[in-house]
Amino acid sequence: MVHRLAAAMTLTLSISFSSAVASAAGGELAELAERTKPSVVLLTVEDTAGNKLGTGTGFFISSDGRIVTNHHVVANAAKVTATLADGSKLVILGRLGADEERDIAIVKADGAGLPALTLGDSSGVSPGDEVVVIGSPLGLSGTLTVGIVSAIRQRGVGKEIAREAELQSWGIQITAAISPGSSGSPIMTRRGEVVAVAVGTLNRAQSLNFGIPIEVVKDMLEKLGPTAPVIPFESTPEQDVLRNLAISAAVLAGLVALVALWSFWDARRSRPRARRGH
């Protein structure tokens, strides 16, 4: 009888403790969501005709409107709008930097005093660490999912698995759910530090979701510096080069024509004139 009573008391205490832990964990997640959601935005991408091309996610990394997202989210954009957690909208002025190979873009919103997330250290992340993702899957802003780091892929995902291409920047594998529209979402620790940027999934199995280590973003920021110019979405670096070449060619052609015209008039002016006899 005594043993049964003791066992019952132990079971009751165990259940109470587990409930308390679960409650505390839930409270931490709620607090984390409330604190970080204002820093995460829904990005709506349009073409030159104003047609919606798709949506993605981004997050502020500075109070003056720098936003991190994936390159593929804004690659073909003519116009991008950021919708904040409170429903307000900001115009995205253009790109500050883009790395197509590693699939990261840093864009600039027209705003100030914006809530930035803290960038963590992805080199300290290990399998089993808990992570939280806040994003906009299918345009559903403020969606929070929780999981763990299931693997660290130092070389990313190779063609033998991805089939279509080498995905070398897909370095952090997680179980937290991401979907189309989640691209560019911050992958955070429970402390709210960003350790990776959600990039994609492998659809042939479950929970094969990936993020790009935040060190890639830090490297880009260091190279850009604080005064990087904004490149409008209608313009790409390649287009800028072609445009400059076209302008140079037009100027050169104009100079050649001007020189030829001047030579023609100079030759006519120097030519001896015949006089009529009287």
Share of the chain above pLDDT 90, in %: 64
Structural domains in the chain, CATH included, are: 119-214 (2.40.10.10)
Residue 22 has pLDDT above 60, yes or no: no
DSSP labels, 198-230: EEEE-TTSSS-EEEEEHHHHHHHHHHH-TTPPP
Q: Looking at 103, 136, 182, 185, which residue is catalytic?
A: 103
Give the whole-angstrom CA distance, residue 212 versus residue 69. 11
* Average predicted confidence (pLDDT) for the chain: 83
Q: Is 29 exposed, middle or buried (0-12, 13-18, 19+ CB in 10 A)?
A: middle
**C-alpha torsion angle, residues 99, 104, 108, 109 (rounded to 10):** 150
Residue among 72, 99, 121, 219 flagged as catalytic: 72
Amino acid at 119: L
pLDDT digits (tens, 9 = 90+) for 149-160: 999 998 888 766
Work out the widest C-alpha separation in the chain, in whole angstroms. Answer: 151
Question: Tens digits of per-residue pLDDT, 111-166?
Answer: 999 999 999 999 999 999 999 999 999 999 999 999 999 999 988 887 666 656 66
pTM over 0.85: no
User: Quick check: is 3 catalytic?
Assistant: no
- Which letter does DSSP use for residue 123 in this model? G
Q: Establish whether 103 is a catalytic residue.
A: yes
How many whole angstroms separate alpha carbon 166 and alpha carbon 159? 5
Q: Is 139 exposed, middle or buried (0-12, 13-18, 19+ CB in 10 A)?
A: middle
129 tagged catalytic: no
Question: Worst-scoring range by mean pLDDT, 35-39, 187-191, 252-256?
Answer: 252-256
pLDDT band with cut points at 50, 70 and 90 for residue 207: confident
Q: 122, 169, 182, 183: which is the annotated catalytic residue?
A: 183
Q: Among candidates 92, 42, 84, which has minimal Cα distance to 65?
A: 92
**Beta pairing class for 193-201 and 118-119:** parallel
Q: Which of the four pLDDT bands, split at 50, 70 and 90, describes residue 75?
A: very high
The token pair that represents 100 in the structure block: 């197509």
